[in-house]
Chains A and B, each alone.
Chain A
Amino acid sequence: MTDEQPRTISRRALLRGAGAAGAAAAASAVGVSAEPAVAPSPAAAPPAMQPAGATAPGRVVYEQLSADEADLLEAIADQLIPEDEHGPGAVAAGAVVYIDRALGGALSGSREAYRGGLAAFERYCRSSRGARFRELPHVDQVSVLIDVETGAATGARTGFAGSSGAFFGMVRSHVLQGTFGDPYYGGNQNFVGWDLIKYPGVRTAVSPGLQTALEAGELEPNHRSAYDADNFEKAVVSRATKETHHGD
């Protein structure tokens, strides 16, 4: 292998390509209702609206995921979008926080898919590699994810309901949402996802100067949620929103 011609595609490179397109769509993907002017309750308010650069002290309190589930999901998310020379990854973005909060709301229909899928995932790691996912070396973690993504774990008698690939697709989609969606929903904390893909943030008005700066790649990120703008009505994540169940 030569350095000039890499022959494998890094998982992150793939995700970064998808992330740019996914950022704009992520908010709608979580099922924002059309209900106007209803602010989220304090309990539902995401922990994402911290000043840029702030770090969350201590352990995140998860509302829907158990500690083991959250640890496993963080490890998976860390492989999907790892921190690297380009910046923080999915864990720093709070993608698992986003998923946890959404499982109590817009993604509540996926709660059982996560419960069963994460348990099956861990059983697959033990049966095929002899250890829990977080205990495996990096290359074996990637190998497991390949097997789960390509459906190879489906028939391994580890309890995946339907295709392991469907479970992988669901997790991947939600990790993307949690990394690149609007911070209002609990992910993309400190705008690390938007900074990663150089998304400068929502503008409600664009002056010629801003347009010129954008086209020159010099537009500074404004680090504002869309919901920080007065002319954006506050929406709520609807618990009634249906999401396709995993299990095909």
Chain B
Amino acid sequence: MRALHGLLCLGLGLSLSADPTSAQPAPRSILVESPVLTSGDAMPRVYTPDGQNLSPPLTWSNLPDGTREIAVLCSDFGAGNPPPWVHWIIYGIPATANGLPAGLPILAETAMPPELSGAIQGLNGWRRPYYRGPAPPAGTPHIYHFTVYALDQPLGLESGLDRDELLQAMEGHILGQGDLVPVYTRF
């Protein structure tokens, strides 16, 4: 057990050292909520390809002082090679926004809501600039991390960034972050 504990600590240390956010003070915890999602509970079908595959509404609070911009990632750490498999990326969200409405655009010609002016949907695991919800193998529950990042300045990022590029760009600028972690299982 002691050896296992040591391994866990080692693993945690490696994990933290690989995290681009580790070079700065511990980020403050942001409270991420949703009127339709709860951590640990099943996602409603409408936010998956078994339903309408709408992006889910999110809200956030307890942003750190000095937050100038926000980014959101949805990742499945139980998929991808290497994990995670990325379902959604949004960055350049104005700090004045307190959440995301449901059903953000999937069409190039559809504008973002005014309160998200300047926000950009980056490239998900399919290299597509929109939300694509969970569709795990049948019978296997998967966990989806909707992670919100508070950033200390507008990063002025171009369109077309993927997760790795976004994390690299955010390095040293993350003031706080928080997760909402629902589950989805196909039957």
Contact = CB atoms under 8 A, between A and B. Distances in A.
Given A5-B159, A128-B49, A152-B49, A139 B129 contact: no
A147 B128 CA distance: 12
A9 interface: yes
Contacts of B132: 146-147, 150, 152
Interface in A162-209: none
A95 interface: no
Interface stretch (B6-14, B16-24, B109-117, B147-155): B109-117
Contact of B135 (A7, A10, A140, A152): A152
B109 A152 contact: no
Interface in B32-91: 48-53
Contacts of A127: 50
B50 to A, nearest CB: 6
B120 interface: yes
Nearest to A153: B49
A150 B129 contact: no
Interface residues of A, number: 28
Interface residues of B, number: 31
B14 to A, nearest CB: 32
Given A1-B117, A146-B130, A155-B186, A6 B108 contact: yes
Given A7-B121, A128-B49, A150-B132, A142 B106 contact: yes
Contacts of B129: 7-9
Contacts of A142: 106-107
Contacts of A138: 107
B52 A140 contact: yes
A8 B121 contact: yes
A11 to B, nearest CB: 8
A146 B130 CA distance: 10
A2 B68 CA distance: 19
Interface string A141-165: 0110011011111111100000000
A1 B128 contact: no
A154 B128 CA distance: 19
Given A8-B106, A151-B135, A156 B52 contact: no
B118 interface: yes
Interface string B171-187: 00000000000000010
Contacts of B108: 6-10, 13
Interface of B: 48-53, 105-112, 117-121, 126, 128-130, 132-133, 135-138, 159, 186
Q: Which 10 residue pairs across A and B have the least CB separation, nearest first?
A: A152-B49, A152-B135, A147-B49, A8-B108, A10-B108, A1-B112, A1-B111, A7-B159, A8-B129, A7-B120
